[in-house]
Amino acid sequence: MRIIAPGFPAVGSCYPPNWAQGIWKKAPAAATSRGQGLAGGDVAEDLFALLFKYRPVVCEQGGFAFSPPWPVAAAVVLVAAAAGFTLWAWHRDGRGSGRATALLGLRGAILAVLLLALLRPTVTVKAVEARQNFLAVLLDDSQSMGIADRDGVPRSAFVRSAFGRDGSLARALGDRFALRFLRVSSSTERVPGPEALAFDGTRSQLGEALARAASELAGLPVSGLVLVSDGADTSAADISPTLRSLQTAGLPVFTIGLGRETFDRDIQLGRVEPPAWVLQGSTLIVQVSVSQTGYAGRTVPLLVEDEGRRVGSADILLPRDGEPVTARVRLTLADAGPRVLRFTIPPLEGEQVTRNNAREVLVDVRDRRERLLYVEGEPRFEMKFLRQSLAGDEHLQIVTLQRTAERKFLRLDVDGPDDLLGGFPKTRDELFAYRGLILGSIEAAAFTPDQLRMIADFVNVRGGGLLALGGRRAFAEGGYAGTPVAEALPVQLDAPPLPEDRHETVSARPTRLGQLHAVTQVAATEETSAARWKTLPALTTVNPIRSLKPGAAALLEAAGDRVVLAHQRYGAGKAIAFPVQDSWLWQMDASIPVEDQTHETFWRRLARWLVEGVPDRVEVSLDRERVEPGETVRVSANVRDPRFLAVNDAAVRASITDPSGREVDLPLDLVADRDGEYAASYVPETAGLHTVRLEASRGRDQLGSARAYLRAAPGDAEYFDAAQRAPLLKRIAEETGGRYYTPETAAALAEDATYLGRGVTATREMDLWDMPAVLVLLVALMGGEWFLRRRSGLA
C-alpha cells in the first residue's frame, strides 16, 4: 500500500517535508560556493548525500510518500501503546517536574521517528532508462582551449582525459546513455570522440552549435545536451532564441566550464579605432583600449608597425588591476594604398595569454586631391597666409573666391576658365562637387536665401565639412543669426557685439578634449604641443563667442570662456567655427622664428580634418574588414546623384580581385527598404587582400565609382577576453533546466542527467527510512533521554 503524505505534491515535484526543505533548497547554492568534495563533487552535496542517502537532485525531482509493508493500523496501534506507556511513566515519576516533561518530550520524539520509519517513507522520482536515450556531448574545438591557465595544463587536457576512451566521465555517461560527440568551432560536426579534435578553430558559435545538436538528434529519445567549453562565444548572434527553443522542447543543457574566470597576469589590447580612410601623409591620433591584471603601475610600450616598419609608439602607465586605460598613439601614414597596421605591446613576464597583446587594423591611405572652396569677402592677410600654409600640401586644392568689388571676384586655383565665373555656386550640383567649404569674412547678405540653404545642405545632406572663420563680416556681425547657416554652426550667435573698431585679444589654449585631438598637435609629442600652445602669440577677434550648442565641443578656448575652435556633427557632415581674424600671427609675429612650422602644421591638419570622412556620390562598404576564408561578407553601396539624392534605378556592379589576381564580377541589388542602397554577398575563398572596385551607372551616365579592401585571414578572437565566461554557461544551464559544472564537480553530471534528463524514463521508488540521518537523529534522541535519566538517578 502507498500513501501520499498530506500536503505533499505528486511525483515530479521538488521538495520533501518542511523539516528538510530548507536543507534541500540550499544545497545546490552552497555546493557552488564551498568548493569540491572528496568524490569530485561539492562538499555540501557530498554531506547531503551522506546524511540523506541521495544527492539533492533526487529530492528536488521526486515526490514524498509512505509505503508501509504492513497495515498502517498495526504500526499506529504499536506506537500508540508505547506512547501510552510513556504517559503512564511520566505520570508515575512526577508529572509536574521539568525533567519528567523533558523525558516525555524526548520519548515522544523517539516514538515519532520510529513511527516514521515503520511507515517506510519513500521518494518517487522519474529516471531515464539506462542506454535507452541519447546524450549529445558538444566539445569546444577552438584555439582558446589550448590556453594553459591552470598550473600550466591546457583546457583541452580535461576534454581528452574525461571524454577519451578511458575517461571516467565518458564511462559513467556511457553506462547510462548512448553518447554522440560533436565538435564546436566555426561549424558544428559529428566526431567519433575527442581524439578527433585539433583545438585549432578560430571561432566559437555556441548558439548555432546548440541548435545544430538539437536538430541532429530530432526524432530520437534525447535526454539532454552536454556543452564542454570555456564559454568564449565569438559570434555576434543572440543566443536567447536558441535557449527559448531548447526550453520549449524540454531539452536540458549541462555545461562544464573550463579555464579560469580571471587571469592572475595578463595584458590585452581592446578596441583600436582608426578612421576607415585617410589622405596620404595624414597624421592620426589613434585611441587604443588596454586592460590588464597583475601589472598595475608598470609602464609598457605600445608599438605601431606598417609592414614591419615602425610608424608610431607610445608609453602606457597601467592602472589598477581590472581598470581599462585608453592610450593615444600618434602616427603618420606616408605610403598610399591599403595599410595593415599592427598595434603591439611586447609580452611581459608571466603572462598567461600573449596572443591578445596585438591587434591589426586596415586603413585605406588615399592618394587623391581634395577640393575645398574658400569664399572671402575682402582682401586680408588671413586668406594670403592660409593659402600659403596649404600650398605645400599636394593633396589639398584650395579653390578661392575673393570678392574684390560688388559682384566682382578674384578666382584662384580653379580647374577651368568657366569655374565660378558667376561667383558663388548657384546650384547644388556645383556646390556639392566640393568636399569642404570655408567661409571667411563675408556677410550673409552676399548670398541669396537659396544659397544660404544650400550651404546648410552642403553639410546636412551632402556630408561636407564647413569651416567658418572670424572677421568683421562673419558670424553674428555678418548677419548670420537666424539663417540656415547659423543652424549648422556649433556656436550660439547670441553674444552682444563689440563696439565698432574694437576687438578682443585671445590666447588660444587646448581644452581637455582638444589636448587629445590631432588638430592641436602642433609639435612632435602631446607634451611638446601643450608647451608650444603656451608660447604662441595672442590673436584677436571681433566675434565674441562664448556659448556652444548642445552636442558641440570646443578644442581651443581662451580666458573668459571665449570659444576659439569648436565643432559639431550636423546631419551627414561636420561644422567648425574658428572665430579669430589673424591666425597668420602664428607665422609672422616677431616672436616666431623663420623656420617655425606651427602655423603650417595647424592649418594643414585643420584642412585635412575638414574633409576627413566626407562621402563621395558612390560609396562602397563592407560589414567587416576582416573575415575568414569561406566566410560570407556583405558588400553594400550607397548611390547618390549630383544633388546627393538617393538613386534607386542604378546599375551597380563590383569587380573583386582576389590575392591571386582572379576577378569575380558581383552585381548588387537594390535593398527594398533603403533608398539608394544596394547590396550583395561575397565569399572570399583564398586568404589575403581582396580589392573591391565598384561602379554605378544610370543608362549611359556614369554616377561614380568606389573602392574598398577586404582581408581574408584566420581570426584571433579566441584569444581576446579568453577567461572562462562562466555567466554565459550558467545562463545556458539555468534557462534550459540543466546544471553548470567545473572539472572538479563534473563527476556528478552522470547522476544529475539521469534524473534531470528527458526521453524514455521509468518511475523509481527509493527508500528513505534507512537514511543515515534517521539513525543519527534516533541515536541523538535516545542518548539525550538516557543522559537525562542518568542525571535524575533513574538509570
Q: Which residues contact 39 (CB under 8 A, 6 or more apart)?
A: 46, 747
Residue 219 confidence (pLDDT) above 80: yes
Q: What share of the chain is helix, strand, coil (3-state, %, to 5)?
A: 30, 30, 40
The C-alpha angle 202, 203, 205, rounded to 5 degrees, equals 160
- Identify whether the C-beta of residue 223 lies closer than 8 Å to the C-beta of residue 253: no
User: Which residues are paired to 622 by β-bridges?
Assistant: 635
Distance CA 484, CA 449 (A): 9
95: pLDDT confidence band, cut at 50, 70 and 90?
low
Q: What is the pLDDT averaged over residues 68-79?
A: 67
- Locate the DSSP E strands across 419-537: 436-439, 465-469, 504-506, 509-510
Distance CA 770, CA 677 (A): 75
From first CA to last CA, the distance across the chain in angstroms is 40
Instruction: Give tens-digit pLDDT for 306-345.
Output: 999 999 999 999 999 999 999 999 999 999 999 999 999 9
Distance CA 8, CA 14 (A): 10
Instruction: Give tens-digit pLDDT for 556-571.
Output: 999 988 999 999 999 9
Confidence (pLDDT) at 117: 77
Residue 383 confidence (pLDDT) above 90: yes
Higher pLDDT, residue 633 or 770: 633
Residues in the chain: 795
384: pLDDT confidence band, cut at 50, 70 and 90?
very high
Residue 20 confidence (pLDDT) above 80: no
- Is the whole-model pTM more than 0.75? yes
Q: Which residues of 377-392 are buried (b: 16+ CB within 10 A; e: fewer)?
A: beebebbebbbebbee
38: pLDDT confidence band, cut at 50, 70 and 90?
very low
- Identify whether the C-beta of residue 530 lies closer than 8 Å to the C-beta of residue 510: yes
